[in-house]
A and B are shown apart, each in its own frame.
Chain A
Amino acid sequence: MRPPQDTVISRRWFLERMAWITTAAAGAEALVPRPVMGAERTSSYLREIPISINTRQQVGELTELTISETVDFLRRGVVSPEDLVRAHVDRIDRYDQFYRAYAGRPSLDALLASASSGTDGSYQPLKGVCLAPKDNFYTTDMLTEGGSLVFEGFQPHYDATAVASIRSAGGLIIGKAQMGNLAGGRAQVYGTTIPTTRNAWTPNDVNYSPAGSSSGTGTAVAARMAVAGLGTQTGGSVVGPGNAQGLTCIKPTFGRISLHGVIPLSYTRDHVGPMARNVMDAAILLQVLAHPDPNDPRTKGLPPAPNYVGSAAPTLGLNAPVRWPTRVGVFPGWSDPGDEGVARMRADFLRDLESMGNVQLVGEITLPEQWEELTSQPLGGSHGDPTAFFIEPLRRDVRLFGDRLPRFLNGMLQSADTYVKVQQARMLLLHRIQTQLFNQCDVVLTEGSGAFDGTGMPVLCMPIGFDTDPGSGMSVPRGVNLAAPPFGEERLFAVAAAWQARTDYHTVRPEDPVG
């Protein structure tokens, strides 16, 4: 069997590559995006989306369908792209007054026109699939406001490469999802601290957070107002809402998905991440999006995207083992999070993991040298990063930044000495994670994602159970974060596929809002 990509990548090569990105950030002019697209390429692996995982005998509610189920029913001619559009628009019209997941939407006519448009004969794996990108992806047909007064009324004149890739694959942008102010925190009324988007599991209780900053995408997908979506993550902003809303999401290796046309926060830590209802859908989206982009040098020079779809398909045979032998480690303290219910859930999860074929639990890992220093502020952060490209609005009126103002002014207080140290420390951490952490395991269960965001390593989240929220008394999902070495997406998908083949947490949907 072909080995997963993380085992055939030179660690030295990835370290050098990230060093280049760090160096490039200091001379960021070279990274100024150009309004030209180049997203025609669609991987041949998408032709292999396994329809066998569709266990539905009948279509049922159209908004319940996952991407792979949609592909199956479309291939069989059971549904049409127009049916899918109408079903999603109806649901949004009925329920988004409660969820408030969307910042902007195209007209029904425009969506139907896109859904029924012909193709040049190329295969369109996402034909008719309704998707919700966060409102920091540039779109030519909708405003892009970044959840902030800073970008209020901003109409881009080109699509972000990720959006262009989705459209090129036949996908439909059903709306732009609300987000935390300039990619921080939960979605709020612009310029205030009044929350907007609700968690799909507690639609009648605004106090239970949908998490951020990809709040709207998380809610739209969990509430069946989009089949899947795109978030961005600089510090946990994909896996946070993913875990809060029972989704399966992948924050891939740095550079895997183009950031061209995404409002930046940090040139060296930003990532685009697919947010979906199961691992196959996350893999399909990554397959569509993982390609070099002439407008984003960070995407170039990477090994070709492997067969993510194949790695996310469950294996056959008794006990459906993980596709490749995988050592699973646990961060110190992960099993004892301070909440009895969550601790029990995690213990059950570990026990189930251990019972899966090809999994070797190695227990708590030993942290690399100087872990605390290298992962905490200031060395493990990115204090100074956002200031450089927000100077103009900072000078215009600091009130535009609302509660996020400090984050955007920090770069004015950080010395060059500190900035160099932060970049050096990041390289040191990257080196040590590869040589002192992932020498103990192939996948690690981690509470937060910060160390892996800063070093550009892949993180996947998925639901592992439900718990009662003490505030609302409602049942809410709980998830886990799994991190892997660079280009370990296949490995993460394989573990998640084996887990989801034997569990149904990812198939449970929240109830509709009342009112």
Chain B
Amino acid sequence: MKEKTIHSPSDEELNVYIRTRYQLLGVDISVLPDSDPDAPMDQERLLENGRSILRQEVVAADFDIDPQFNLPVPHPAPFVAWTEEVEK
């Protein structure tokens, strides 16, 4: 089988993705200055952070965890806490 080469997204591509994602959810980052180190926040820093978060997704995806390490849910603790069916 021919080996596939997967293109790693560039900064510019990730920026487009980040802006689109925010826009989709109704968040407008265009009100921030493009680049102003004296401002509390600017688009340049925000996008840099966003790219870093996205690239960390790869680290998480690569983390190999035992699929049998399930989150155990004790019975009946959560339901007791919410419904107060049983009060200690």
Chain A interface (Cβ within 8 Å of chain B)? 13, 15-17, 19-20, 22-24, 30, 191-193, 294, 297, 300-301, 373, 377-379, 383, 391, 394-395, 397-399, 401-403, 405-406, 409-410, 412-415, 417-418, 421-425, 427-428
B7 to chain A, nearest CB (A): 19
Nearest residue in B to A370 (C-beta to C-beta)?
Answer: B63
Inter-subunit contact B84/A406 (CB<8 Å)? no
A106 to chain B, nearest CB (A): 30
CA distance A424 to B72 in the complex (A): 10
Inter-subunit contact B29/A406 (CB<8 Å)? no
Inter-subunit contact A394/B21 (CB<8 Å)? no
Inter-subunit contact B73/A16 (CB<8 Å)? yes
B60 to chain A, nearest CB (A): 4
With A301-B88, A379-B59, A422-B60 known as contacts, the answer to whether A412 contacts B25 (CB < 8 A) is yes
B80 to chain A, nearest CB (A): 7
Chain A: interface secondary structure?
A: helix
CA distance A373 to B57 in the complex (A): 13
With a cutoff of 8 Å between Cβ atoms, the chain A residues found around residue B22 in the complex are: 409, 412
CA distance A150 to B65 in the complex (A): 38
CA distance A394 to B59 in the complex (A): 27
Nearest residue in B to A402 (C-beta to C-beta)?
Answer: B40
A375 to chain B, nearest CB (A): 13
With a cutoff of 8 Å between Cβ atoms, the chain A residues found around residue B63 in the complex are: 373, 379, 421, 425
With a cutoff of 8 Å between Cβ atoms, the chain A residues found around residue B88 in the complex are: 301
Inter-subunit contact A402/B41 (CB<8 Å)? yes
With a cutoff of 8 Å between Cβ atoms, the chain A residues found around residue B56 in the complex are: 377-378, 383, 418
B26 to chain A, nearest CB (A): 5
Inter-subunit contact B27/A427 (CB<8 Å)? no
CA distance A414 to B53 in the complex (A): 7
With A398-B27, A398-B32 known as contacts, the answer to whether A414 contacts B72 (CB < 8 A) is no
With a cutoff of 8 Å between Cβ atoms, the chain B residues found around residue A398 in the complex are: 27-29, 31-32, 41
CA distance A280 to B40 in the complex (A): 40
The size class of the interface chain B forms with chain A is 35 or more
Q: Mark B19-49, 1 if CB is under 8 A from A, else 0.
A: 0011001111101100000001100011001
CA distance A37 to B32 in the complex (A): 41
With a cutoff of 8 Å between Cβ atoms, the chain A residues found around residue B80 in the complex are: 300-301
B11 to chain A, nearest CB (A): 14
Inter-subunit contact B69/A301 (CB<8 Å)? no
Inter-subunit contact B77/A406 (CB<8 Å)? no
Extra A-B contacts (11), CB below 8 Å, given A301-B88, A427-B69: A16-B72, A20-B73, A301-B80, A301-B81, A378-B60, A402-B41, A403-B41, A410-B50, A414-B57, A424-B69, A425-B65
With a cutoff of 8 Å between Cβ atoms, the chain B residues found around residue A427 in the complex are: 69, 71
Q: What would be 9 A-B contacts, judged by CB atoms less than 8 Å apart?
A: A17-B74, A377-B56, A395-B27, A398-B27, A405-B32, A413-B21, A413-B54, A424-B69, A428-B65
CA distance A493 to B49 in the complex (A): 40
CA distance A425 to B74 in the complex (A): 19
Inter-subunit contact A421/B77 (CB<8 Å)? no
CA distance A425 to B84 in the complex (A): 31
B31 to chain A, nearest CB (A): 6
CA distance A410 to B32 in the complex (A): 17
Inter-subunit contact B32/A399 (CB<8 Å)? yes
Inter-subunit contact A409/B27 (CB<8 Å)? yes
CA distance A22 to B72 in the complex (A): 10
Inter-subunit contact B74/A405 (CB<8 Å)? no
With a cutoff of 8 Å between Cβ atoms, the chain A residues found around residue B65 in the complex are: 421, 424-425, 428
CA distance A401 to B26 in the complex (A): 16
Inter-subunit contact A297/B81 (CB<8 Å)? yes
With a cutoff of 8 Å between Cβ atoms, the chain A residues found around residue B57 in the complex are: 378, 413-415, 417-418
With a cutoff of 8 Å between Cβ atoms, the chain A residues found around residue B54 in the complex are: 413
With A19-B72, A399-B31, A428-B65 known as contacts, the answer to whether A406 contacts B49 (CB < 8 A) is yes
Inter-subunit contact A395/B21 (CB<8 Å)? no
With a cutoff of 8 Å between Cβ atoms, the chain B residues found around residue A192 in the complex are: 40
With a cutoff of 8 Å between Cβ atoms, the chain B residues found around residue A383 in the complex are: 53, 56
CA distance A19 to B78 in the complex (A): 10
With a cutoff of 8 Å between Cβ atoms, the chain A residues found around residue B49 in the complex are: 406, 410
CA distance A15 to B69 in the complex (A): 12
B88 to chain A, nearest CB (A): 7
With a cutoff of 8 Å between Cβ atoms, the chain B residues found around residue A405 in the complex are: 32, 40-41, 46
Q: Choose from B45, B50, B53, B77 the contact partner of A17 (Cβ within 8 Å).
A: B77
CA distance A427 to B66 in the complex (A): 12
With a cutoff of 8 Å between Cβ atoms, the chain B residues found around residue A422 in the complex are: 60
Inter-subunit contact B26/A395 (CB<8 Å)? yes
CA distance A499 to B74 in the complex (A): 39
